[in-house]
Structure 1
Amino acid sequence: MVNIRSLDPSASPLDYYGAELRRLREEAGLNQAQLGDIVFCTASLIGQIETAKKVPTRRFSEQLDAALMTGGVFSRLVGLVLKSQLPNWFQPYAEMEAKATYISTYQAQLVYGLLQTPEYARAVLGARTEDDLDAKVAARMERQRILDRDTPPLIWVVMSEAVLHQEIGGRAAMRNQLAHLLAMQEREWVKIQILPFSAGAHAGQMGSFTLLRFEGDPDIVYTEDFIQGHMTANPAAIREGSLRYDHLQAAAFSVEDSAALIARVMEERYGDQPEPDGRTLA
């Protein structure tokens, strides 16, 4: 018999989602197996989500809405659920990021989170521990939904050339990630510049940082250490961050030359190459 432990819907967005799923499923006169057949998943998965043991995906939520004719209830709830899977210290930044009209960021080691593919994100997020990895990846992909809004933020990214060469997730994942950067660069509101190794000493040597600008609200500068992130609207910090970013943009390749470098690294470093036995690596 399936465990139907009691949930406190007010405990978390995930608990509320699970409680609503159970309530609406039972109102529809369906058991877990029957609902699973309709949305193409197992009864076990339905049970795990109803008991807040597994995080639902957006696609699953959309299928639930169609199956239970809920008018989009789960598609709305899943955004809150996925946001709650972000680290507590990161959630305030994610909320501000979603409100920004202009995002400018310097990335010294990794592709900016809003531009990561699922495979690359999985490798990054699973580097230390694979606990709740599916939920972490889903939460990062959820952040990227701001890119598909009718009026998305303008995003200007300066990345160290090292980001292109640091193989994360394997060669195939890196090739797909660089291809994704090139595809994103085709959007008029996404600009990517590469800071070449030849730049030498530069204004970003202290590490990655992000500047958020808003309509009618103070700018914010965001930095991270290995424990947590830090946001500030201090005018002196904003001035210093803006000045450093201007210097980084000036030292970086142009958008066009950056795209050419990304494409070259993608082909030369991560392109199809024969293994010693003659087989081809994808």
Structure 2
Amino acid sequence: MAETGGDAFVPAADRINPDASLWHWLAYDLRRYRLARGESATKVAGIMGCSRAHVSNFEAMNRRPSEKNLKPLDGAWRTNGHFVRIFTFARRDHNPNWYVEHLHYEARAHTVRIFEPLKVPGLLQTEDYARVAISTEGNADVDQAVAERMARQAIMNKNPPPRMSVLLDECVIDRPVGGREIMRAQLARLLEISRLPNVTIRVAPRSIGFHLGLAGAFKLMGCDPEGDVGLHGGVRGRQADLGQR
């Protein structure tokens, strides 16, 4: 089957279900509107200010468009803000599968940037520190949760490993989680990791006072082809695409 305008049909688009989520609906309508207008992906790329490959990936949900891509499309197609509206609500929507998706992006990331105001990030925790932290989170199976957290750290052994930049609030290294021995081992682990050529660990001193990072932990994972995918930490967790570079 061929698309209008001679562009190759995107088989992955067949798996898009507009009833599954707002992101699915956005991808579905991008393709549906384009085909209804008889326009090629190449022509739409010119409107959206991106490449034809990006348009194909938008329609297949392999990549998410930005508001900058969608606003001119609404204008050109006179959709009264239809695509920007879906995009806006999709960005706000809580994703119940956020943790599974987060692990998917984390495992593939070529860059990881983390700010943590309360505890050592999971990728840098020792097993003992992780056990103490996880035991306070209400997990039904602490042993399994600890094993899963330790398994995530395998990304540090990838070839090439991800470039990692970590910023910790000073209270993270001052708080004696699990007692002195566990915390001493955790600090030694941080020092060990900080010596890796692909890792930078910095500490924001208490003397700087209040700063925006105290609103919560966040992580940016650089992935291809999605671009930067962000995770803002909280009790429930929220994941949002923060745009492509």
Query: SS of the residue aligned with 1:221?
Result: strand
* Unaligned stretches of 5+ residues in structure 1: 1-86, 240-282
Offset at residue 201 of structure 1 (A): 2.2
CA contact (8 A) 2:216 2:234 kept: no
Matches within 5 A, 1:79-94: 89-94=98-103
Alpha-carbon offset, residue 230 of structure 1: 1.4
- Map of 2:122 onto structure 1: 113
**Counterpart residue identity of residue 193, structure 1:** R
Is the 2:112–2:221 Cα contact (8 Å) retained in structure 1?
A: yes
Matches within 5 A, 1:39-188: 89-129=98-138, 131-188=140-197
Q: Counterparts of 2:148 and 2:184 in 1: how far apart (Å)?
A: 23
Q: 2:238 aligns to what? A: 230
User: What's 1:197 paired with?
Assistant: 206
Deviations 1:242-267 (CA, angstroms, capped at 9, x unpaired): xxxxxxxxxxxxxxxxxxxxxxxxxx
CA gap 1:234/1:102 in 2 versus in 1, 3 angstroms? closer
Aligned with 1:181: secondary structure?
helix
| Partner secondary structure for residue 131 of structure 1 | coil
Q: Confirm whether residue 213 of structure 1 aligns to residue 219 of structure 2.
A: no
Cα gap change, 1:128 to 1:205, in 2 (>3 Å): closer
3-state DSSP of counterpart to 2:178: coil
Distance 1:88 1:135 in 2: 19
Decide whether aligned partners of structure 1 residues 203 and 129 sit closer, same or farther in structure 2, where only a CA change above 3 A counts.
closer
Equivalent position SS for 2:166: strand
The CA deviation at 1:187 is 0.5
In 2, distance between residues paired with 1:128 and 1:215?
32
Query: CA shift at 1:129, angstroms?
Result: 3.8
Which residue is 2:67 aligned to?
none
What amino acid is aligned across from residue 222 of structure 1 in structure 2? L
Residue deviations 1:126-184 (CA, integer Å, cap 9, x gap): 01446311111000000000101121111100000000111111110000000000000
Give the letter for the 1:221 counterpart: G
- The one-letter code sitting in structure 2 at the alignment partner of 1:233 is D
Residues of 1 paired with 2:209 and 2:161: CA distance? 34
Greater relative contact order, per chain length (Cα 8 Å cut-off, separation 6+): 2
Give the AA of the match of 1:177. Answer: Q
1:217 Cα deviation (Å)?
2.3
Alignment correspondent of 1:37: none
Note the aligned Cα RMSD (angstroms).
Answer: 1.9
- Give the TM-score, by structure 1 length: 0.50
Distance 1:127 1:206, change over 3 A: same
After superposition, give the CA deviation of every residue in 1:68-104 in whole Å (9 maximum; x if it has no partner).
xxxxxxxxxxxxxxxxxxx954111011011111100
Q: In percent, how many aligned pairs have the same letter? A: 35
Distance, in Å, in 2 between the alignment partners of 1:220 and 1:101 is: 12
**For structure 2, which runs of at least 5 residues remain unmatched after alignment?**
1-95
> d(CA) in 2 for partners of 1:224 and 1:203?
14
C-alpha separation in 2, matches of 1:219 and 1:138 = 27
SS in 1 for 2:224: coil
How far apart are 1:209 and its partner, in Å? 0.5
